[in-house]
Amino acid sequence: MSDTNNPENNPLDARMFEELESIKPLHSELMISNPASSQYYKDILKMLAILEEHGCTTIDTFPDEDVIVKFPDGTTYQELFPRTTTARFRIMLPDKLELRMVDTQGKCRLSIVIETKEK
């Protein structure tokens, strides 16, 4: 009998374990499409303000249209498994603000998970 609880004996588990361990630098940006038309516009503005406080840059492409969020140098990301109908990512800003991004066929949702305050 093989020990399937050991990742070395189960190729799928070994791959997932390897990918869970891989934290990669994030040199990217995220576009928020037409936030002014969203019923959550006020919440989106609050989120953008928090991201700016933590070193992100936001760029309005046109008034009341798309907003581009650029992450600061040192931002990392990690895909979360198991993958379902969506791809889920943990994004960590250099100052330890933690975000989650959910990608559903090219449409992304971004949320702030934990905001740490240094004492």
**Token reading at 26:** 């994030």
> For residue 83, what pLDDT band results from cuts at 50, 70 and 90?
confident
pLDDT at 43 over 60: yes
Q: pTM for the full model?
A: 0.67
pLDDT at 26 over 60: yes
d(CA 58, CA 70): 6
Radius of gyration, CA atoms only, the chain = 17
* Average pLDDT over every residue of 9-20: 46
Report in angstroms the alpha-carbon separations of 29 from 9, 23, 46, 94. Answer: 38, 17, 18, 15
| Element counts in the chain: helices (H) and strands (E) | 2, 8
* Average pLDDT over every residue of 22-47: 76
